[in-house]
Structure 1
Amino acid sequence: MGKLNYPSDEILNPSKLQRKNYDHIILWMLANNESCEWSNFEQQPIEIPISTLSRHFTKLIFKGFIEKFARGQYRITPKGKKKFNDLSQIGKKERKLSYPPKIILKSGRNYSHWILWMVYNNNYCKRSDFLEEPLSINQSSLSKNLSLLIERGFVIKEDGKYVITRAGKSEYSRMLQNYDLDRQTILEEEGKRIEEITNKTIQFFENYNIKDEDIQFRFLTNILKLDYEKVKPLLKDEEVFYKILLFISINHPEQYPNFISPENFSKKYKIKKITLDYYIDEISEGKIYPFKFFKLTGPSGGVYYFQSDGKLERMFQVITENYINKFTYLNKLFSKPDDDLTKYDSNSIINQILDEICIFLFNKDFKESLRELLPGYIKYLAYKFKTKRELKDTYDKLEGLIWQDLAEIFDSPISEDLKSQYEEEVKEIDREIELNPMNIDLYKSKIKILIYFNQYNEVLRVLDNTLKAFPEDEIDIMMKKASILKRKRNLRAGLDIIEDLLKKYPKNKELLSYKAYWFQYMDKKDESLEIIQKLIEGEPDIGIYHDNYGEILMHSEEYEEAVKRFLKALVMSSDEWYIYQTYIKMGICYKALGNHDLAVKNLKKGKDIVNKSSIDPDTKQKWLIIADLFLAEMK
């Protein structure tokens, strides 16, 4: 045998981020030489391990790419030459990949989001695509995240390539909502997914003569949100799934009085009633998907469904929240006891809500059904508030206080589906923490959910773990621990935490302010004011201390003295970030004192500063709302 030709070093020794393609090496040798012996592949520069060589030779012979024509002699077949050319083209043709935008890459190491973005926006991805820049995901994290995505059915691996599934596309769409992408980007991404579903949907409408545009729109909305992949293991026929969603889309409150019963629907659309009943119950109760459908019963017994977070429910939520907030703001702001909201008051709130929604949202025939729904619905809103919102400013905290005790006030036990959602959310967060243990936001989300279900001992345990992972955030974490102890009515233990922190951080003025507020919780007004007074004496020109002093007096309903402190804060720091709050709080005090002219003047001044400020839109909107609420009381 003459001198052999060998592949280039680029083929024999690819970069560390790429694996050797032994099929390509073997086929290259046979395509560029008349024949090769087995030993040629064991020796330098090829040096393929015997077990690997045996495995690849067996596969290539079985597929008809190479043949053994004499003892120890191998050559390539015509079919093998075609395969070799294909493999060579892959090596030569540089793939141009699309990468996630900076807003996603810089929002923490959410590797699963990066991977989803990559497999959605590229036909496929190889493992090396995630290891190279700009992603540079380390091997361990990549393996964990890929395994999780494959396990959850969002990604599949085929011939060494990672490809997104239909369920993955739905998850990708939900994932985008976590980022502040411009509206056009989100619409374009949604458009890609809608296009895939459109043809099937149109055919389904034609097959079953669905011509009502409202039903068509609701059906399309449902099909985009309720991914078939979730039920596919049990519900093999996708058309049956479409029929189930059609039933929900037809029986909507906006269709009243039109209605089709499960019996008639099952006959007309040829679906087993037992199947229809089962999946309608599972879907409407939120047992399959992370949202539910609320049910209303008409006078004739027909059941109508409307989706949580849909247009109708969002309007329903706004009206309900408005009446709850309007009724309880004053009590909470002026530190009235929680039990001031009596059973009579709760019935009054429900009646006011019913009067409005039965004019603007629902047919009046649903009034009694809505009356039964409202206590549980208010509980549901309290759950959403607790688990989904972060209390960032004074208005948030005020609203948080309002929703804190609603479950008890309206005497509606937590439903099993909400409990199962909570447990599933905790499991999901635990999985995310395992993948991203240094993402503190995951710990915060878990804590919120546990707090809602009064799992305070578990919260304390999670906070201890959080402290181990993030010791640099000790003050914030320990203050959260103190707040949990406060919920457990162990104010003394909470105060001990603050005092221990002050021993470690004696110059931290914020901790002293916390201690002042803590004494306020313990009804130790004098001790509270003494601390604030010392802060003022140490730094008399710091306006926020006077603002804090005024707030403590306001809590004690000493509105006249509170106003004096607020005025001092304004004189000393007329351009500080918090001044709009000072004006609004001072306006509230003037209202309590009966001086409506000054109340209106200061509330409007606070609003004017808010409108001209560059604070974030949510904070701006919240302070405008609270000012408007008190202004409305004086009209």
Structure 2
Amino acid sequence: MGKLNYPSNEILSPSKLQRKNYDHIILWMLANNESCEWSNFEQKPIEIPISTLSRHFTKLIFKGFIEKFARGQYKITPKGKKKFNELSKERKKERTLSYPPKIILKSGRNYSHWILWMVYNNGFCKRADFLEEPFSINQSSLSKSISSLIQKGFIINENKRYLITQSGKVEYSKILQQYDLDRQTILEEERKRIDEITIKTSQFFDKFKITDDHVKFRFLNNVLKLNYSKVKAILKDEEDFHKIILFISINHPDFYPDYLFFEDFSRYYTIKKRVLYFWVNEIVESDLYDLKFFKIEFSPDKYYYFHSDGKLEKILRAITEEHIATNKYLEKFGRSGSLNSIIDDILDEICETLFSNHLKESFREFLPRYIKYLAYKIEIKKELKETYDKLEGIIWQNMTDLMQSQNSEALETQYEDKIKEIDKEINLNPNNYELYNSKIRILLYFNQYNDVLMVLEKMMALFPEKEIDIMIKKAYTFKKDKNLEAGLEIIEELLEKYPKDNTLHNYKVYWLSYLGKKQEALKILRSLIENEPEKGIYHDTYGEILITFKEYEKAIEEFQKAIEINSDDWFIHQTYIKLGICYTALENIDLAVQNLKIGKKLTSKIISDFETKNKWLAIVDLFLAEIEEQRYLLISN
């Protein structure tokens, strides 16, 4: 064999930011020499470790890129030459990266912001992109930041390339608001996001022949604010999510008297009525999204929807605030109206300018709740800096009293009725702990978080022996109010006082998972399992945390351990349902149905805590309905 040709040092010894590509080195040698011996790759200047060499040779032979034609002799195949050319082009091709503006780079070491900016604006990034200028993030910090973003679902790792997810795009959009970027930059970034979503929605419009521009606008406006990734774990089909948003968008007060009923919509757009009804209520009634929706009941089966900060709500708010302010000012001159008269004045104006007169009585029912909502928004303002803010606070501060002073039952909201009723019972039985719990549930349902905290303070004074239970409720209230850190602080303070209370450690696990701190959460759980192996609930919690991070196979193992240890414990009905959810995610339909039905049967037998019982029954019915629909579609096709 004559003198061998060897690759350049650039290929043999790449920079510290790049890894050696052994496939490329081997193929280079065989492409630039008639043949090579095994020993040529062990010796200088190649020096590939034997185990590495064996692994790569086996792979390249298996893929048909090289062949062994004699003992210890190898040559490249035509297919291998093609692969070699591809790898060579890849090396020569230099990616031109876009980098964040200086204001983002100079605003502290916000590594997660830098990473999101890069993966959003460059399509994908490799780890090495962050190790060099202008970032120069050290390996440890980079690993931590990337891991955190992956756990939160903002980026994914595909073949050592980091890509942004839909949730990541939403987060990226929020991050931009934190920087004093020029108007054009913000508009450009938002335009990119809108363009991307518009492509998807255009396909949706074409498929379902949606041509009304007003419907299109409302739909797009809603989709931009409602992130599918929040419900993706349960609602598997994004198209179904779009249908649900379409239902809300179509049934807007502007379109009165037109209306599409649940049944008609589900039949026309081929979505299960139960699924449609469940998710419309989740989006509109719960605090699933930050966007606040309002529901106008025209009749028991006919509702119109509109959201806060839209054109309609802004005008309604302006009119309502003007009438409230007018009443407050006139009060100073001895002229003040009742809530009845204020609402009449508002109705007269909005039914001339905003809504059909036929909706007048529906809005009469709605306005007391809406006024209370506006009053609550003013009440929770942290700072009243400007003169107008202070004036606004004065105008609204007594609105709740004004509302409660009305004797007309027609103006009393469901919330007020329930609170008055429970307060009467508490007055009669001031030492009944469960009555206070009932009041808290009502307040939480109506998002009255400040009132909840006040009740909890009172409970602490009356029932100091219930400290842990009360403080956990306080932490939960902060969670509902989207202040997870404050909730975690409460649990950590409790753990300082009661370090041996494993139930508190279990609560901490949940809070850590809410904050995306997977490894910390699982570390605590492993310790709990080791200390109390006879308690299946820790395995149940372990499985639940794994579901959060979409590790369904591992979650199944934990749920099965929980059932094996405590097959008749109080939480087992939930374990079976969660098992069913995992099998659904893994598309093992038979086991999914089997476990969901067991969970449903066990849940149906519960004779206490009906609120939780109904919640789990709703969840299991939703999954069973989804599976039934999928089976129907398979049969149909």
Residues 204, 312 of structure 1: CA spacing in aligned structure 2 closer, same or farther, 3 A cutoff? same
The residue matched to 2:130 in structure 1 has which SS?
helix
| Residue aligning to 2:592 | none
For the pair 1:24 / 2:24, whether they are aligned, the reply is: yes
Q: For the residues of structure 2 that align with 1:213 and 1:454, how far apart are their CA atoms?
A: 35
Structure 2 counterpart of 1:127, one-letter code: R
Question: Can you give the 5+ residue segments of structure 2 that lack an aligned partner in the other structure?
Answer: 405-414, 416-441, 453-474, 494-637
Structure 2 counterpart of 1:258, one-letter code: D
Identity %: 64
Q: For the residues of structure 1 that align with 2:488 and 2:236, how far apart are their CA atoms?
A: 45
Deviations 1:532-586 (A, max 9, x none): xxxxxxxxxxxxxxxxxxxxxxxxxxxxxxxxxxxxxxxxxxxxxxxxxxxxxxx
Please give the residue correspondences for 1:94-133 in structure 2 after superposition, counting only pairs within 5 Å. 94-133=94-133
1:203 shift after superposition: 4.6
| Residue aligning to 1:225 | 225
Contact in 1 for aligned 2:244/2:279 (Cα 8 Å): yes
Q: For the residues of structure 2 that align with 1:273 and 1:249, how far apart are their CA atoms?
A: 17
| Residue aligning to 2:79 | 79
The residue matched to 2:7 in structure 1 has which SS?
coil
1:254 shift after superposition: 0.8
Please give the residue correspondences for 1:339-358 in structure 2 after superposition, counting only pairs within 5 Å. 353-358=346-351
| Residue aligning to 1:274 | 274
Identify which of 342, 362, 366 aligns with 2:355.
362
| Residue aligning to 1:235 | 235
Question: Can you give the 5+ residue segments of structure 1 that lack an aligned partner in the other structure?
Answer: 335-341, 424-446, 466-635
Structure 2 counterpart of 1:214, one-letter code: H
The residue matched to 1:298 in structure 2 has which SS?
strand
1:158 shift after superposition: 2.2
Larger radius of gyration: 1
Structure 1 counterpart of 2:354, one-letter code: L
| Residue aligning to 1:154 | 154
| Residue aligning to 1:511 | none
Q: For the residues of structure 2 that align with 1:460 and 1:394, how far apart are their CA atoms?
A: 36
1:250 shift after superposition: 1.2
Contact in 1 for aligned 2:226/2:291 (Cα 8 Å): no
Residues 138, 315 of structure 1: CA spacing in aligned structure 2 closer, same or farther, 3 A cutoff? farther
Residues 405, 450 of structure 1: CA spacing in aligned structure 2 closer, same or farther, 3 A cutoff? farther
Deviations 1:148-171 (A, max 9, x none): 333344322222222233443344
| Residue aligning to 1:58 | 58
Q: For the residues of structure 1 that align with 2:185 and 2:488, how far apart are their CA atoms?
A: 41
Deviations 1:167-211 (A, max 9, x none): 433443344344443444344334434444445544543444433
Q: For the residues of structure 2 that align with 1:209 and 1:40, how far apart are their CA atoms?
A: 65
Residues 64, 459 of structure 1: CA spacing in aligned structure 2 closer, same or farther, 3 A cutoff? closer
Contact in 1 for aligned 2:252/2:304 (Cα 8 Å): yes
Please give the residue correspondences for 1:525-544 in structure 2 after superposition, counting only pairs within 5 Å. none
Residues 285, 31 of structure 1: CA spacing in aligned structure 2 closer, same or farther, 3 A cutoff? farther
Contact in 2 for aligned 1:67/1:77 (Cα 8 Å): yes
Structure 2 counterpart of 1:126, one-letter code: K
1:274 shift after superposition: 0.8
Residues 150, 384 of structure 1: CA spacing in aligned structure 2 closer, same or farther, 3 A cutoff? farther
| Residue aligning to 2:575 | none
Residues 319, 199 of structure 1: CA spacing in aligned structure 2 closer, same or farther, 3 A cutoff? same
| Residue aligning to 1:205 | 205
Q: For the residues of structure 2 that align with 1:139 and 1:100, how far apart are their CA atoms?
A: 20
1:368 shift after superposition: 4.4
The count of aligned residue pairs is 429
The residue matched to 2:162 in structure 1 has which SS?
strand
Structure 1 counterpart of 2:221, one-letter code: T
For the pair 1:245 / 2:245, whether they are aligned, the reply is: yes
Q: Which moves more between the two structures, 14-23 or 117-126?
A: 14-23
Residues 321, 137 of structure 1: CA spacing in aligned structure 2 closer, same or farther, 3 A cutoff? farther
Residues 39, 280 of structure 1: CA spacing in aligned structure 2 closer, same or farther, 3 A cutoff? same
Structure 2 counterpart of 1:225, one-letter code: K
Deviations 1:330-373 (A, max 9, x none): 99xx9xxxxxxx9x876666565555444443334444444544
The residue matched to 1:211 in structure 2 has which SS?
coil
| Residue aligning to 1:306 | 306
TM (norm. structure 1) is: 0.57
Q: For the residues of structure 1 that align with 2:327 and 2:210, how far apart are their CA atoms?
A: 45
The residue matched to 1:68 in structure 2 has which SS?
strand
Residues 144, 399 of structure 1: CA spacing in aligned structure 2 closer, same or farther, 3 A cutoff? farther
Contact in 2 for aligned 1:386/1:452 (Cα 8 Å): no
1:320 shift after superposition: 4.3
Q: For the residues of structure 2 that align with 1:451 and 1:280, how far apart are their CA atoms?
A: 23
| Residue aligning to 2:36 | 36
Q: For the residues of structure 1 that align with 2:96 and 2:480, how far apart are their CA atoms?
A: 47
Residues 245, 461 of structure 1: CA spacing in aligned structure 2 closer, same or farther, 3 A cutoff? closer
Residues 12, 330 of structure 1: CA spacing in aligned structure 2 closer, same or farther, 3 A cutoff? farther
Q: For the residues of structure 2 that align with 1:457 and 1:161, how far apart are their CA atoms?
A: 32
Please give the residue correspondences for 1:477-556 in structure 2 after superposition, counting only pairs within 5 Å. none
| Residue aligning to 1:571 | none
The residue matched to 1:125 in structure 2 has which SS?
coil
Contact in 2 for aligned 1:243/1:269 (Cα 8 Å): yes
TM (norm. structure 2) is: 0.57
Structure 1 counterpart of 2:278, one-letter code: Y
Structure 2 counterpart of 1:255, one-letter code: F
Q: For the residues of structure 2 that align with 1:51 and 1:329, how far apart are their CA atoms?
A: 86
The residue matched to 1:67 in structure 2 has which SS?
strand
Structure 2 counterpart of 1:302, one-letter code: K
